[in-house]
Amino acid sequence: MIAALSLVGACADKTNTPRLIAGGDPSRGLAVIEEVGCGACHDIPGVGWPRGTVGGPLKGFAVRPLIAGRFANQPDTLVTWLKDAPSLSPASGMPTMPIAEDQARDVAAYLYTLDDH
Amino acid sequence: MTIERAPEGFAGWPPPILDPAGPFAGPVNILSWILFAMSAVVLVVVLAALAVALFGPKRWRVRLGGERLVWIGGLAFPVVVLSALLIYGLGLTSHLTDDPRPGEVRIRVTGEMWWWRVAYLDGGGREVLQDANEIHIPAGQPVVFELESADVIHSFWVPRLGGKKDMIPGRRNILRLQADAPGVFGGQCAEYCGGPHALMGLVVVAHPPAEFEAWKRRRLAPSLAAGLPSRGTEVFDASGCGACHTVRGTAANGLAGPDLSHVGDRRTLGGGILPTNQGTLAGWISDSQAIKPGNRMPAYPVLSGEDLRAVAAYLESLK
């Protein structure tokens, strides 16, 4: 009964939709972000330097409804975007990134921890 | 949780600066430890004397204030110890700076604000190959570095391979480094040289000798991708990149900035500070000023997303 009530409560809370990545590890994701150098273009909470200006800042990404202002911010779309943004948006400045599927999932998991907007 | 990107070869904390990887770094490392240890001893003695002077019995305080102690502790001890250390230290490091001998690998590194111009020299001191911010050496043998500066004083420092050496405008300073085994070693400018001095890093890659020769032969030829018609080369040419950068095998022959002939083959970008991939290349080209404020490359906010990606892809293909 209590569980059912709390589920109803979760449905009502539209502002805090949990976006979960199965098997994604946020701390590994942050390490990938550092290793690949995502900060060259993005200002990312948790990355002290660099804080690039070319792509959008990623503060509050977990509660942002759209990716790059175009695509619904859903896990599968985000993972695809991180690996190969041009396949979704050929005019984007974000290139194909040299990361594997599981690394992209880790990065996505980290981005979905950024709920402070 | 905040992380700072560690330059390649400097990963981990503390940075491996007291972890020598060659015979020229060893003596410097020993000397460092001797200096640390002696400083610790002197500190303890001075603090003990201070404690006696403040809280000790009167008899001890009188002896501490005597002239004899000043002559011994204040003059004789430092003169003897510091002279011995100086002679020992110079003996440890003097052979690092001998003139190049026949058969030694010679590399000229020129400090620029805020990157490193690298030239591989033949036996007669003539340039055979230009590169930037990344130095390849054969492992297991001494390599002679001829250090110069194009502007202000820089200091060339690859901690695991040897000591620091200043790069002084108008002078050529010699330094020998050796890596005992193949590996990747971080380097850093160690003399404040203005603006983004802290972001003036480099990477030294030590290969087995045969592999080093093969690397050099490969590098002597222009990249296979140089000048191949593509949107990337069009953007590169139209944006005037060739005014400052050289890509051998093409019309781009600028000398102000780093040679890009094989930029896609370098591990790092921007002076040893970012990994090389299409993303970091695009970020650097579009707004390097946000990454390394004050560096001499202007931001290029005039490029569209597609153009930026095309030129980044072209540069990454220069292997």
Model confidence at B1, pLDDT cuts 50, 70, 90, reads very low
**Do the Cβ atoms of A98 and B277 come within 8 Å?**
yes
CA distance B157 to B197: 13
Location of structure tokens 């503390």: B14
Answer for the pair B266, B204: CB distance below 8 angstroms, yes or no. Answer: no
CA distance B188 to B313: 28
**Residue B305 burial (CB count, 10 A):** 20
Which ranges of A2-117 would DSSP assign to H, the alpha helix? 2-12, 26-36, 75-88, 101-111
What would the pLDDT profile of B86-111 be if each residue is shown by its tens digit?
Answer: 998 888 777 777 888 888 999 999 99
pLDDT score of B5: 53
Strand partners, B149: B111
A104 Cα to chain B: minimum distance (Å): 14
pLDDT score of B227: 80
Model confidence at B263, pLDDT cuts 50, 70, 90, reads very high
Residues of A in contact with B279 (CB under 8 A): 36-38, 40-41, 94-95, 97
Residues of A in contact with B286 (CB under 8 A): 41, 54, 93
Q: Select the more confidently predicted residue: B302 or B8.
A: B302
Residues of A in contact with B306 (CB under 8 A): 90-91, 93
Q: Any chain B CB within 8 A of the CB of A57?
A: no
**CB neighbour list of residue B72: distance below 8 Å, 6 or more residues apart:** none
Q: Does the pLDDT of residue B232 top 80, yes or no?
A: yes
Q: Give ipTM to 2 decimals.
A: 0.85
Residues of A in contact with B292 (CB under 8 A): 50
For B198, phi then psi, to 5°, come to -65, -20
In this structure, CATH architecture of domain A2-111 = Orthogonal Bundle (1.10)
- Secondary-structure percent of chain B, ordered helix, strand, coil, rounded to 5: 40, 20, 40
What would the pLDDT profile of B270-283 be if each residue is shown by its tens digit?
Answer: 999 999 999 999 99
B131 Cα to chain A: minimum distance (Å): 22
For B286, phi then psi, to 5°, come to -70, -45
Sign, Cα dihedral of A68, A71, A77, A80: negative
Give the residue from A35, A49, A107 with the most B CB atoms within 10 Å of its CB, the best one to mutate.
Answer: A49
> What's the pTM value of the predicted model, to 2 decimals?
0.88
**Do the Cβ atoms of A48 and B2 come within 8 Å?**
yes
Sign, Cα dihedral of B277, B214, B245, B224: negative
CA distance B177 to B96: 8
pLDDT score of A116: 85
Residues of A in contact with B313 (CB under 8 A): 95
Answer for the pair A86, B309: CB distance below 8 angstroms, yes or no. Answer: yes
The angle formed by the CA atoms of residues B119, B294 and B283, to the nearest 5 degrees, is 80
Domains (range + CATH), chain B:
1-210 (2.60.40.420), 231-317 (2.60.40.420)
Task: Measure the CA dihedral A92/A98/A100/A106, to 10°.
Answer: -70
The DSSP call for residue B296 is S
A25 Cα to chain B: minimum distance (Å): 15
pLDDT score of B18: 82
**Do the Cβ atoms of B278 and A38 come within 8 Å?**
no
**Do the Cβ atoms of B5 and A30 come within 8 Å?**
no
**Do the Cβ atoms of A40 and B274 come within 8 Å?**
yes
